[in-house]
Amino acid sequence: MHILFIADPLDSFKIYKDTTFAMMREAVKRGHTVSSCEVRDMRWTQKHTDGSTGVVADTQVISLTGQVGQGWYEASPLQATAIKAFDAVVMRKDPPFDSEYFYATHLLEQAEREGARVFNSPRALRDHPEKLALMEFSHLAAPTLVTRDIARIKAFHSEHRDVILKPLDGMGGVGIFRVRDDALNLGAIAETLTADGTQTIMAQRYLPAIKNGDKRVLLIGGKPVPYALARIPQGGEVRGNLAAGGKGVAQKLSASDLKIATELGATLASRGLLLVGLDVIGDKLTEINVTSPTCFQEIFDQTGFDVAAMFVDAVEASI
């Protein structure tokens, strides 16, 4: 197969932990050809100079050198290529899910109409915003409020006394605040996150089980990876995100992890979500990540379970 990865700039990859790199490495190991581009490299033209129409991108074939650091790949010259020409397209652009990401999903959906196979499905990416997708499965979640009304946020805190406030478009723990029983700075935090009531945010009851980790449970083709990565807050932090200094500890799925994963797996896969990252604290679902779920390499390094191989198996089976 020839697989196109749409990702952030390759030179930004930290290959010792980058999930997209792990996917590429496994694909190359199996003899597949790997190309890459960025979202900005895609375009649609009603009629190209060669008479063709459709979505194209300036892509480059990637060869892996086996080196660590900036020299980890070699790339061919950029070449304009129809997205539909690839056997599979893996969308791995990191959040934020901003207007440009939104437009990219529409370009990719048009590429699908032209015959491309895109993972995850562009429409499914739009239909499952990573924090708001939780609303459909609220019976699995802790008490949660989505609003931009500051008075309602204060009332939610008054009811639950210890809450987490976070923006809807963040990643890596950016913009997450805990407000305890004393409500210290609640007004200022709510005003800042909502931009004085003009931007919607999420509030959730604080879950003490975060001390044991914010678990990333991966679903591939609707099936759970047997190990989760518990991201454990360090140094008094409330955030377990690895980008915020959390410690990643791989562990077998608990009975409650498996129950949540099994309940959601087939449903999400049927909607075109080949790879999903569920965030679970204790026995509560807190987020459903669909843009570029990570933790492949951390799980492999600690357990030996090859998540990248399971992912490429699923891509191959879908073609």
Q: What is the CATH number of the domain that holds 16?
A: 3.40.50.20
Flag whether 21 is in a domain: yes
Check whether residue 236 and residue 302 sit in a common domain: yes
Flag whether 69 is in a domain: yes
* Active-site residue (options: 109, 215, 289, 298): 289
Is there a catalytic annotation at residue 17?
Answer: no
* Active-site residue (options: 169, 279, 284, 298): 279
Write out pLDDT tens, residues 127-180: 999 899 999 999 999 999 999 999 999 999 999 999 999 999 877 778 899 999
Is there a catalytic annotation at residue 216?
Answer: yes
Q: What percent of the chain has pLDDT over 90?
A: 88
* Active-site residue (options: 131, 205, 215, 284): 131
Of the pLDDT bands very low, low, confident and very high (cuts 50, 70, 90), residue 113 is very high
Give the C-alpha separation, 278 to 253, whole Å: 12
Task: Give the residue-averaged pLDDT of 111-137.
Answer: 96
* Active-site residue (options: 239, 241, 257, 298): 239
**Number of domains the chain contains:** 3
Is there a catalytic annotation at residue 289?
Answer: yes
164: which 2 tokens?
């987490």
Give the C-alpha separation, 72 to 115, whole Å: 32
Mean pLDDT of the chain: 94
Task: Give the residue-averaged pLDDT of 39-49.
Answer: 88
Flag whether 130 is in a domain: no
* Active-site residue (options: 93, 117, 166, 284): 166
117: which 2 tokens?
């196979």
pLDDT(104) > 90: yes
pTM higher than 0.85 for the full model? yes
Cross-strand partners of 231: 214, 248
pLDDT(107) > 80: yes
Of the pLDDT bands very low, low, confident and very high (cuts 50, 70, 90), residue 48 is low
For residue 219, give the 3-state DSSP assignment.
Answer: strand
Is there a catalytic annotation at residue 279?
Answer: yes
Check whether residue 107 and residue 167 sit in a common domain: no
Flag whether 319 is in a domain: no
Domain range for residue 113? 2-121
Give the C-alpha separation, 274 to 265, whole Å: 10
* Active-site residue (options: 92, 205, 215, 216): 216
pLDDT(21) > 80: yes
pLDDT score for 236: 66
Check whether residue 98 and residue 111 sit in a common domain: yes
Flag whether 261 is in a domain: yes
Cis, peptide link before residue 9, omega less than 30° from 0: no
Cα–Cα–Cα angle for 21, 27, 29, rounded to 5 degrees? 100
Is there a catalytic annotation at residue 130?
Answer: no
Of the pLDDT bands very low, low, confident and very high (cuts 50, 70, 90), residue 233 is confident
For residue 200, give the 3-state DSSP assignment.
Answer: coil
Write out pLDDT tens, residues 244-302: 678 999 999 999 999 999 999 999 999 999 999 999 999 999 999 999 999 999 999 99
Is there a catalytic annotation at residue 241?
Answer: no
Task: Give the residue-averaged pLDDT of 188-203.
Answer: 97
pLDDT score for 244: 62
* Active-site residue (options: 26, 231, 241, 257): 231
Cα–Cα–Cα angle for 238, 242, 246, rounded to 5 degrees? 45
Flag whether 137 is in a domain: no
Listed in sequence order, the DSSP H helices in the chain are: 19-29, 99-113, 122-127, 150-160, 186-193, 255-270, 296-303, 307-318
